Amino acid sequence: MSGHAGREPRRLTRWWRRRSLRARLTVIAATAIAASVFVAFQVASQLLGWELQDSAKGQLRADARVLATNARRAGLAEVQLPPYPGSGRLVRVVLPDGSTRTPVGQPALPPVSEQAERVAQGASADLMESGDSDEDGHLVYTLRAGDGAVQVAQVADDSPINQFGFGMLLIGLLCVFGGALVGRAVARTGLAPIDRLTAVAVRVARTRDLDADIPDEGGGEIRRLIRSINDMLAALRDSRRAQRLLAEDAAHELKTPLTSLRLNVELLIRLDRRGTLDSALPAASRTRLLNDLGAQVAELSTLVAELTDLARGDVSDEGTELLDLADVVAAAVTRARSRAPGVEVALDVTSVWVSGRPAALERAVLNLLDNAGKWSPVDQPIQVRLRAEGASAVLEVDDAGPGIDAADVPRVFDRFYRADSARALPGSGLGLSIVQRVVDAHGGRAVVARSARGGALLRIDLPAAAPPAPIAGPTGGEDTAAG
């Protein structure tokens, strides 16, 4: 039974959630009006009952005073009691011996109560009794008169309240019906902007046209919703435009190495088919061509990897953790030395803690080192400095190359941008763009300047974090390394 009773509310909840917002507002409006009418009926009925009862009590008191005056004049035993007319008030005289007199033909009244007998004996002047316990519900007023008492009674009449209730029921039904109509009209008017918003959303989903702006109308929540949807559409337009530009730039950048690779491969195939590969291409030329092919394949692999990393944007499965940036820099320097053994790197780093993604930060530092390695002379090392500066972790990569022209500085971190002097060098123009994206994702800032040695100085500022609390253990010194 308890399980069945628990399923009913859930069914009602599911049914309610499947209703449209317009239907919900209509039902809520009709229910609110019905509840208001019911409460008003209860209050009005109670007030009307009190008013009718007070009026009946006042009339009983007036009639009792008249009868008591006549009884004192003529005596309780001789006072004239006219025959009962068939309706209206009921009277009774209580004699000193406890007996009673009633008009001829009058219906029987409830027995004289103990409290009424006490009034007849002079214990109190009067008594108003409500006969809720008897079948007819008499209202009886007892008044001291001479050596006894007189009683005037009236049968409780609920017909005015019943008539009032019937009238309120009709009015309530009309109000509920009218409230449902008004609620539906209000819902239709209030939800009109949402209907138009829905129509625009359906059209965008069907046509994939993100240029459709929703008119800013209404107020309050509706206006905020419309503005949020318009902001979302604008963000989607920007994302689509960025994707299109990325695809166009990628196609442009891939065209040159693919063309060169295809021509070299076609040359080798053509010579091999003719059987003149050894005669047409001496060993030295063939080795140089194969090296070029290997370099072009490596360049394509690097370009594809960078494109993949850039296209992912800020989406990454790597979690954020508290890490020492000095360890990240050291790992990146190790990888840079293995990739370019002839490039010398001078480290000057201190322990600075940040909150970030280690792999992404290592990739950014490695891209900075790769960029510096292209320009730094063989006899001049790349200087890498890491220090804490205020609330920031500052990383500087300093090379002794020719530096960056002032005209190229604003576009250094743009995707696929390569200065005229760098077009003959290997690279895709994506490395520094990836650096910028990683730094932005970590809430930092990347800038470029001229170093004191005349080359380029690339600087990264990242928000520093408090180092982790030391773990209690055996007493010992803490190593500090700077390479």
Domain CATH number, residue 116: 3.30.450
The residues, any chain, with a CB within 8 Å of residue 140's CB and separated by 6 or more, are 109, 110, 116, 128, 129, 131, 151, 152, 153
Say how many C-beta atoms besides its own lie within 10 A of residue 67's C-beta.
21
52 is a domain residue = no
Low-confidence ranges of the chain (pLDDT < 70): 1-8, 21, 131-137, 156-159, 161, 190-191, 212-220, 242, 245-257, 277-278, 281, 295-296, 298-299, 302-303, 305-318, 403, 405-430, 471-483
- Looking at the structure, do residues 332 and 417 belong to the same domain, yes or no? yes
- Looking at the structure, do residues 449 and 358 belong to the same domain, yes or no? yes
**What type of residue is 43?**
V
Domain CATH number, residue 436: 3.30.565.10
Q: In angstroms, rounded to a whole number, what is the distance separating the alpha carbons of residues 1 and 192? A: 45
Q: What is the 3-state secondary structure (H, E, C) of 199-215?
A: HHHHHHHHHCCCCCCCC
The answer to whether the predicted template modeling score (pTM) of the entire model surpasses 0.75 is: no
- Looking at the structure, do residues 139 and 252 belong to the same domain, yes or no? no
- Per the structure, the complete domain to which residue 436 belongs is given by 321-463
Domain boundary among 255, 279, 311: 311
Q: How many independent structural domains does the chain possess?
A: 3
What is the pLDDT at residue 133?
47
1 is a domain residue = no
In the three-class reduction of DSSP (H, G, I as helix; E, B as strand; rest coil), residue 143 is classed as: strand
Handedness of CA 301, 304, 306, 312 (dihedral sign): negative
- Looking at the structure, do residues 360 and 450 belong to the same domain, yes or no? yes
115 is a domain residue = yes
The residues, any chain, with a CB within 8 Å of residue 344's CB and separated by 6 or more, are 380, 381, 382
Q: In angstroms, rounded to a whole number, what is the distance separating the alpha carbons of residues 441 and 433? A: 12
Q: In angstroms, rounded to a whole number, what is the distance separating the alpha carbons of residues 29 and 190? A: 13
- Looking at the structure, do residues 127 and 240 belong to the same domain, yes or no? no
What is the pLDDT at residue 254?
66
423 is a domain residue = yes
- Looking at the structure, do residues 297 and 429 belong to the same domain, yes or no? no
Structure tokens at 83: 């025959």
Task: Name 86's bridge partners.
Answer: none
282 is a domain residue = yes
Q: Which helix (H) or strand (E) holds 464?
A: none
- Please check whether residue 206 is in contact with residue 375, taking contact to mean a CB–CB distance below 8 angstroms: no
